Amino acid sequence: MANQCSIEGCMKPIKAKHLCAMHHQRLLRYGDPQHERVKAKEINCKWRRCEQPSVAKGYCQTHYLASRYLDKIGMAHIQTNMATHNH
């Protein structure tokens, strides 16, 4: 559609210069609407399906504590089972 942002994959409505508000902002701020903020390489939590950044031993805060607890009670293997028990 003609009134969508011209950046590929962006479906937001145009605000100015064929760009949506977000991409227009980037154009103003960085001179490049496709500018991405360079972020430090983040390693995600290794817990299944968790996308939090890891803070300790490859786990996010929550799962680090959880895995430590599971370890302590000798049930570290349970995390995979827990994550797949969806049905």
The secondary structure of residue 34, as a DSSP letter, is T
Stretch that binds Zn ion, among 34-42, 48-56, 68-76, 79-87 (CB under 5 A): 48-56
Minimum separation from the CB atom of position 52 to Zn ion (A): 5
Minimum separation from the CB atom of position 33 to Zn ion (A): 7
d(CA 71, CA 5): 50
Instruction: List, in sequence order, every residue forming a beta bridge with 4; answer none if it has no partner.
Output: 13
d(CA 47, CA 56): 12
Give residues in contact with Zn ion (CB under 5 A).
5, 7, 10, 12, 20, 23, 45, 47, 50, 52, 60, 63
